[in-house]
Each structure stands twice: as structure tokens, then as C-alpha cells.
């Protein structure tokens, strides 16, 4: 595996966040290798492959979230692995509830700079949508 730099990891995270904010499953899945492993939580089986990752993002950010924002801070870059603390906010469709996520991700990259192994751990807070007619 090739080494990655802080600059390359930063570029990848920026693209990841942009894909999420724009609800673009195609752009999100392009950040991963063909046979990438994507583990959303430690208690689920990982998604394997770009097609599975595309479907995950299609069902999530593209179809069930609006007003998405994503921020991050790089914690570490070593060899082919980057670790980042991230936060996201969005409105859930159709309830309109506001969701806040706070998490950490670990991404391992292949020789061409695509993520080959992705793991994340996160917590969320969901605030009920307040109907303005009440």
C-alpha cells in the first residue's frame, strides 16, 4: 500500500463531505475502491464493494436527508491510513426532524488513493421538528 499525505486525506474528506452535502451517491461511491469494505457501525456486517456503498448513500443522503452540513478535523495520517473526527447535521425526510451526528472515521487507502477499508463510530441526537402552525 502506498503512503498518503495529510493533503491527500484532506482532499478525500472534502470530496466525501461534498458528496454527502449534495446528496450524490455516485460521487460518494467513486471515493472507494471496487471491493472496498465500509463499516457503518461495529455491530453490523460491512458493506462490500462500490455498488453496495452507492446503494447505502442513495438510500441515505440522496433520498432521506436535506440541508446537510459536514465538517471534519484530521486527527492522524500514518502510512496509508487517515483518522478524522467529523460532525454532520441534516433534516430527516419526511419527518423534518433535525439530526446531529458526531463521529470518528478510519480510512485505509489503496495504491491509487481510493478508500479500501472504511470504519466509523458515531453518536446522534435527533430533535423533533416543531410545526410552525402549533
**Architecture per CATH, 6-127:** Roll (3.10)
What's the CA gap between 118 and 38, in Å, rounded?
A: 5
**56, 64, 3: which is closest to 26 by C-alpha?**
56
Length of the chain: 134
What's the CA gap between 6 and 27, in Å, rounded?
A: 21
Enumerate the domain spans of the chain. Answer: 6-127
CB 101 within 8 A of CB 70: no
| pLDDT tens across the length of the chain (134 residues) | 678 999 999 999 999 999 999 999 999 999 999 999 999 988 999 999 999 999 999 988 888 999 999 999 999 999 999 999 999 999 999 999 999 999 999 999 999 999 999 999 999 999 998 754 44
Take residue 31 and report the three cell numbers written for it: 471515493
- pTM of the model as a whole: 0.92
Amino acid at each position: 500500500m502506498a503512503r498518503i499525505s495529510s493533503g491527500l486525506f484532506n482532499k478525500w474528506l472534502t470530496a466525501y463531505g461534498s458528496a454527502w452535502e449534495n446528496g450524490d451517491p455516485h460521487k460518494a461511491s467513486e471515493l472507494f475502491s471496487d471491493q472496498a469494505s465500509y463499516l457503518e457501525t461495529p455491530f453490523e456486517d460491512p458493506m462490500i464493494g462500490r455498488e453496495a456503498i452507492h446503494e447505502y448513500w442513495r438510500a441515505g443522503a440522496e433520498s432521506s436527508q436535506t440541508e446537510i452540513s459536514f465538517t471534519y478535523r484530521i486527527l492522524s495520517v500514518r502510512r496509508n491510513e487517515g483518522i478524522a473526527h467529523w460532525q454532520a447535521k441534516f433534516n430527516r425526510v419526511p419527518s423534518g426532524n433535525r439530526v446531529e451526528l458526531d463521529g470518528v472515521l478510519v480510512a485505509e487507502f489503496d495504491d491509487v488513493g481510493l478508500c479500501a477499508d472504511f470504519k466509523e463510530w458515531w453518536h446522534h441526537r435527533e430533535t423533533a421538528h416543531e410545526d410552525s402552525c402549533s
